[in-house]
Amino acid sequence: MNALLYARSNRIVELMQQPTERRDADWMREAAQQAVLLELATLPPYLCGWWSIDTSTGDGTVFDTLREIIFDEMSHLGLACNMLTTIGGTPVLADDTVVPRYPGPLPGGVRPELSVFLSGMTKDAVEMYSRIEEPDHPLVRAVAEHTSIGAFYTALLEAFREHPERITGARQLTMFMPHHGEGNNVVPLTTLAAVESAIDVIKEQGEGTSASPDNPHPGAEGERAHYYAFREIFHGRKLERNPESGKFEFTGAEIAMPDTLRMGVVPEGGWPRTGPSAPDAETIQVLDEFNQAYSALLRSLEKPWQESDASQAESLLFDAVGQMSALQDPAQRLMARPIPGGGGKTYGPEFRYVAP
């Protein structure tokens, strides 16, 4: 299957349609790999929004909220990788056939009606962020049936519960990040209880619970789950429980949209390299610089889970995490470069994989 077809396949939907008795070890490994790709797919759009925020103005509320969500997603990616290696798989991240492409759907057919795009922080972007995180039964509005990220993780958890003997504890990595929340440590998944806890963290940080929009594993008191945090930003108001109806409503304190760098939506296939709408040579150089740094990061993130020596693996992971900060500078340099005839919009990173 070529890269574009794989990236736009319905593999998660197909996996969930398999009857329980056919969810063997190969099914679990493929499902866990899809979970890794789902977590990876959320990071580029959130990072573009975060990097576009002008931190010299405003109160920083939206900036801080998005920063915490991004760190949550990074820990979710680590937990998903541990989930895969504990059942004998190896995460694949640095491969053009699996790296998510933008604009396009989420991996595996999750929310097939949703097109995930890369742009600066706008109302449209925040709406898209919340659609990514939307639970099956949100507290603030009803939605049509769909394959959500949470539903997919529930199916994977059921397979772990049916076959706890498949949990080997192989190649498990640890990274403590308590300053980003009580659920944000990447921990070894050597038992069913550990897997259950990890999946609870991933689901509840993203979707909240059936009783509350709060993040049950917060970095700060009152932190919302991702879906509800994005809805608050979209509506420009904090959620409050109506004392009469008991329902949550957007009637709380005002949340102002921040001033931003005006990154435009990255077109399908990335910014053109030739033709009348192609950027100038210097912009192309920065675009390529970013893609090369992103690709090097993905290769670095693969290596720790390939390493059998625990201390060496954790050293490799620490080095890979350090590379993440190198993406911000070229991204923001692109966001400072106007698109000719773009109505004041600027360029931004493409997050395309390029082989070494």
Confidence of residue 342 (pLDDT cuts 50, 70, 90): confident
Structural domain includes residue 60: yes
Query: Domain of 247?
Result: 3-263
Structural domain includes residue 57: yes
Structural domain includes residue 339: no
Q: Which residue has the higher pLDDT, 345 or 14?
A: 345
Cβ atoms within 10 A of the Cβ of 322, count? 11
pLDDT tens digits for range 87-121: 999 999 999 988 999 999 888 888 888 999 999 99
Confidence of residue 123 (pLDDT cuts 50, 70, 90): very high
- From the list 19, 17, 67, the residue with the least C-alpha distance to 46 is 67
Contact criterion met (CB below 8 Å) for 322 and 271 = no
* Whole-number Å distance between alpha carbons of 238 and 252: 4
* Whole-number Å distance between alpha carbons of 296 and 213: 37
Highest mean pLDDT among 44-48, 54-58, 182-186, 202-206: 44-48
Given this model, what pLDDT does residue 4 score? 40
* DSSP bridge pairs for 260: 53
The CATH number given to whatever domain includes residue 93 is: 1.20.1260.10
Given this model, what pLDDT does residue 140 score? 56
* Whole-number Å distance between alpha carbons of 78 and 135: 22
Given this model, what pLDDT does residue 3 score? 40
Domain count within the chain: 1
Residue 2 has pLDDT above 80, yes or no: no
Across the range 34-58, mean pLDDT stands at 93
Whether the link from the prior residue into 103 is cis, omega within 30° of 0, is: yes
Structural domain includes residue 237: yes
Residue-wise burial string across 46-59, b where 16 or more C-beta atoms lie within 10 A, e elsewhere:
bbbbbbbbeeeeee
pLDDT tens digits for range 277-304: 899 999 999 999 999 999 999 999 999 9
Across the range 313-321, mean pLDDT stands at 91
Q: Which helix (H) or strand (E) holds 119?
A: none
Helix axes 281-302, 328-335, angle to 10 degrees: 150
Contact criterion met (CB below 8 Å) for 90 and 170 = no
Structural domain includes residue 196: yes
Going from the C-alpha of 281 to that of each of 265, 273, 275, 288, the distances in angstroms are 20, 9, 12, 11
Contact criterion met (CB below 8 Å) for 44 and 118 = yes
Mean per-residue pLDDT over the chain, rounded: 89
Q: Which two tokens stand for residue 271?
A: 């910014």
Q: Which residue has the higher pLDDT, 139 or 208?
A: 208
Across the range 145-151, mean pLDDT stands at 69
Least confident among 41-50, 211-220, 245-254, 291-300: 211-220
DSSP characters over 228-286: HHHHHHHHTB--EE-TTT--EES-SSB-PPPPB--BPPPPTTSS-SSSTTPPPHHHHHH
Question: Quick one: how far is CA 91 from the chain centroid?
Answer: 16
Least confident among 5-14, 115-124, 238-247: 5-14
Contact criterion met (CB below 8 Å) for 239 and 250 = yes
Q: Which residue has the higher pLDDT, 341 or 177?
A: 341
Structural domain includes residue 10: yes
pLDDT tens digits for range 203-221: 999 888 766 788 888 877 7
- Residues of the chain with pLDDT > 70, as a percent, come to 92
- Residues of the chain with pLDDT > 90, as a percent, come to 65
Residue 145 has pLDDT above 60, yes or no: no
Structural domain includes residue 235: yes
Confidence of residue 59 (pLDDT cuts 50, 70, 90): confident
Predicted TM-score (pTM) of this structure:
0.92
Given this model, what pLDDT does residue 229 score? 95
Residue 87 is classified by DSSP as T
Which single residue is written with the structure tokens 């929009």? 213
Residue 55 has pLDDT above 60, yes or no: yes
Number of helical H runs and strand E runs in the chain: 11, 2
Confidence of residue 272 (pLDDT cuts 50, 70, 90): very high
Given this model, what pLDDT does residue 6 score? 45
Given this model, what pLDDT does residue 352 score? 96
Residue 142 has pLDDT above 50, yes or no: no
Given this model, what pLDDT does residue 220 score? 77
Structural domain includes residue 241: yes
pLDDT tens digits for range 153-205: 999 999 999 999 999 999 999 988 776 666 788 999 999 999 999 999 999 99
* Whole-number Å distance between alpha carbons of 254 and 250: 9
Q: Which two tokens stand for residue 137?
A: 């039964």
- From the list 70, 62, 80, the residue with the least C-alpha distance to 43 is 70
